[in-house]
Structure 1
């Protein structure tokens, strides 16, 4: 049974000594999703978010989120062009816990509502995350994956998906060619959020004001944080995200968008594998439909190529920039 916003407000006041609640309102869809959530208003006008996980998976996600937020020190947060919530307190409830954090102002973003101005701000926000020093992740004991790790993980998904016999031949060939393309996997890992999608962002007046959900914080392939943007079918939106990102980060990762394209497509493969692992005919059928549509959408579009291709050779200054970025990201 979903907990009411009044119950959640009571939990928040017991979790945060300084919180004198004078109002509360539900946040999200009550009884749906992974969390029971509410926004609580304090007598001083400050707003707080209280969340109680509704499943074991959500509880694990919440725990990982708290570890990640702890790794984002004040100095790190000052380098970001948006706000990150701060943990305020917790209270036990029904075998789990209610976690209270400061509320970050802004309107939740949906993929279909992103315009060019907001897409630009999103690209800049992601670039700022990727520019953070990798030491903040490693010092916190969070995962750090190399380019070779990312390559192996993608190959494993491709191999498992094609072994089902349900992946269209043209799509299997496309993925296998990308997996065999060694040049695609030559990149410098960065700090990544690791679980970004449109709903991760809060915005106001065309600017990103906050980023939610840090449970996937790690060092890894920067393409992972950008792949979701390719799901936008509004003209120019994905281009605006990547263009803004490149203006901030530079263009030394020449295959970034191609890896992001592959990562986006492999989400469908992961959905297929989830269906086969759980023996869900409905999920498998849904994945098969998605792969069929994917064939129609991308295989005839040369701009979506992820296979081997000839690319311009890096100039001397670009090589120096790549080496400098690798050195700074490790510091």
Structure 2
């Protein structure tokens, strides 16, 4: 009942400031202001300034979805220990305190400085913001998996990542609304074993351009950890393929420079995930019986068919010969010598 009530009410920044002083012992505030948009927002939020100069954020969820997101985000933030944070080149929010309110809770966090990036602000080049984001994502993927497992968060193997992709594909196929050309393209990708030979890593799993904060061309923070898990690193890179090709290239080049080239098909899997996001949008429309969403998804799938048919240079499946290692060459020579 409280959830429907919350949707119709917005707490003032003064009310939120009062809640913050209840949530955090000895908090002495000297200023407060609203934070974010009051409308079309899942949270009531305020920016707080403490007498010691600290800046804090307080957020109260306005609906059930936001409450679930906040709870999952708190679990992840507590899992990201001080030691883990030292391995990251940007800041991550820290939990400061909480207080019950109207059936949910108000949570106070340290403020992370920076401006939201936005896809349109990404610039190409080795010193551009796209490269900085590529390097930042790589830093996440190089964290130890143990801190995720120790927190009881999902830990997936490569085969489980593949099965999840196939499940989305099969459910979308069952609607009868996915063009056969796309289904064939996705099936070939999921059946190609080379594509799915990779090591899973810690991933954010909910990245978009809005996840990042920046200042002076440097990534200063990464927000939204509610889907933290061990999974396919390509999941964190798929959103970059919505940017101009030069921007995506810069991000992937920087990512590879930090992580190395061990995962040779990460970009192709990222592309598959990006395409399957449209399939998920279609499924959301069918699940909620929204004709508007279904029609939008069908139109996007049709446009995707046209773009993929014209993009023969960037298939989902590896089409070029794999680079042979020294061991591969030696084994081939050994087999040849035995044959003669």
Q: Would you call these one fold, judging by a TM-score over 0.5?
A: yes
Q: Which residue of 2 aligns with 1:198?
A: 209
Deviates more, 1:211-220 or 1:39-48: 39-48
Superposed CA offset, 1:194-238 (max 9, x none): 111111100000010000011111100000000011111x34111
1:95: Cα distance to partner? 0.6
Q: Is 1:177–1:308's contact at 8 Å kept on the other side of the alignment? A: no
Aligned match of 2:282? 272
Name the residue aligned to 2:13: 5
2:265 touches 2:318 (CA, 8 Å); kept in 1?
Answer: no
Q: Which residue of 1 aligns with 2:82?
A: 74
Question: In the alignment, does 2:6 pair up with 1:37?
Answer: no
**Which range moved further: 163-172 or 72-81?**
163-172
- Distance between the aligned counterparts of 1:303 and 1:221, measured in 2? 24
1:148-297 counterparts in 2 under 5 A?
A: 148-232=159-243, 234-297=244-307
Following superposition, the deviation at residue 14 of structure 1 comes to 1.2
CA distance, structure 2, for counterparts of residue 11 and residue 135 of structure 1: 35
Q: Secondary structure at the match of 2:237?
A: helix
Once residues 249 and 20 of structure 1 are traced to their aligned partners in structure 2, the CA distance between those partners, rounded to angstroms, is 44
Quick one: distance in 1 between partners of 2:251 and 2:26?
A: 40
Matches within 5 A, 1:89-128: 89-116=97-124, 117-128=128-139
Deviation at 1:31, TM superposition (A): 2.6
- Whole-angstrom CA distance in 2 between matches of 1:60 and 1:303: 42
Does the residue aligned with 1:48 lie in a helix, a strand or coil? strand
Shift of 1:299: 2.5
Unaligned runs of 5+ in 2: 1-8, 329-340
CA contact (8 A) 1:166 1:288 kept: yes
Map of 1:323 onto structure 2: none
Of the three residues 22, 25, 36, the one matched with 2:33 is 25
TM-score, scaled to structure 2? 0.90
In 2, the alpha carbon distance for the partners of 1:296 and 1:13 equals 56
* Count of residue pairs brought into register by the alignment: 317
Q: Note the residue ranges of structure 1 that are not aligned, 5 or more in a row.
A: 319-331
| TM-score normalised according to structure 1 size | 0.93
Which stretch has the larger CA shift, 87-96 or 166-175?
A: 166-175
Q: Residues 212 and 317 from structure 1, CA distance in 2 versus in 1: closer, same or farther, beyond 3 angstroms? A: farther
- Higher Cα radius of gyration: 2
RMSD: 1.5
Residue in 2 that maps onto 1:321: none
After superposition, the Cα gap between the structure-2 partners of 1:311 and 1:2, relative to the gap in structure 1 and judged at 3 Å, is farther
